[in-house]
Amino acid sequence: MRYLLEIAKNAFAFRSVKKWDILLTILLTFIVASFCTFFVNQLIQWFPQEVPQSLKQVNDAIKASDGPVLWSFLFGVCIFAPVFEEIVFRGIMWWGIEGVISTRAAFVVTTVLFALAHIDPIHIVAVFPLGVLFGFLRWKTGSIWLPLLSHFLNNTLASLSLVV
């Protein structure tokens, strides 16, 4: 049983972090998220034909929603998605790659796969810098707590820009 707990601890990388690192994470997230928002808006202006119609429809639906629909969206995007994605990319996948190849390979592979998981070209390009930040935070601390915090903050800021 103890062996299984140790595997889970390493695979999920739930390790403690320093308070200073939390503050640095918040600052870096605001900087990178602001850059990504500006960059994605530029990409949309330059390549409007590349914005999927489904994304426009979802954004319009969210802007018009309230009550349970809005809260469900916010939960899914701001809490569920960051937890799921960070456990998969900076937790399990990172641990597996790092154990077989190297930490550097884990950083590169998980960053690229994280971006590609966002499917449409504009979204892939826009989230790549965030993937770099999340990977950097994982590498620096050996924990997924800070990438999770950063991911949560980014998605919350992006979501609030849709509903406010």
Say if 51 falls within a structural domain.
Answer: no
Q: Among 104, 82, 100, 91, which Cα is nearest to 156's?
A: 82
- Domain assignment present for residue 80? The answer is yes
Residue 96 inside a domain? The answer is yes
**126 and 34 in contact (C-beta within 8 Å)?**
no
Across the chain, mean pLDDT equals 87
Quick check: is 54 in a domain? Answer: no
Q: Kindly tell me if the per-residue pLDDT of 140 is higher than 90.
A: yes
pLDDT at 109: 97
Q: Are 86 and 13 in contact (CB under 8 A)?
A: no
Is the residue at 22 inside a domain? yes
Task: Give residue 94's domain range.
Answer: 2-44+59-163
Q: Taking the model in full, what pTM does it have?
A: 0.87
pLDDT given at position 55: 67
74 or 109, higher pLDDT: 109
CA 87 vs CA 46, 58, 76, 80: distances in Å:
34, 25, 15, 11
Q: Quick one: pLDDT band at residue 154, thresholds 50, 70, 90?
A: very high
Among 33-47, 58-72, 96-110, the range scoring the smallest mean pLDDT is 58-72
Spatial separation of the C-alpha atoms in residues 51 and 136, rounded to whole Å: 29
Q: Tokens in use for 17?
A: 């972090």
**Residue 1 clears pLDDT 80, i.e. is over it:** no
The structure tokens listed for 77 are 């995007």
* 133 within a domain of the structure (yes/no): yes
- To which residue do tokens 């930490």 refer? 103
* Total number of domains in the chain: 1
Give the helix/strand (H/E) hosting 77.
Answer: none
- Does any domain span residue 141? yes
| Residues 50/122, Cβ–Cβ less than 8 Å | yes
pLDDT digit string, tens, across residues 63-78: 777 788 888 888 888 9
Residue 9's pLDDT band (boundaries 50, 70, 90)? confident
Q: Report yes or no on 52 lying in a domain.
A: no
Instruction: Give 135's contacts (C-beta < 8 A, 6+ positions apart).
Output: 90, 107, 110, 111, 114, 147
Alpha carbon of 34 to those of 1, 2, 28, 43: distances in Å? Answer: 44, 43, 10, 14
Distance, in Å, from the CA atom of 154 to the CA atom of 164, rounded to the nearest integer, reads: 15
Angstrom distance (rounded) from CA 142 to CA 11: 11
- The mean per-residue pLDDT over the stretch 25-50 comes to 88
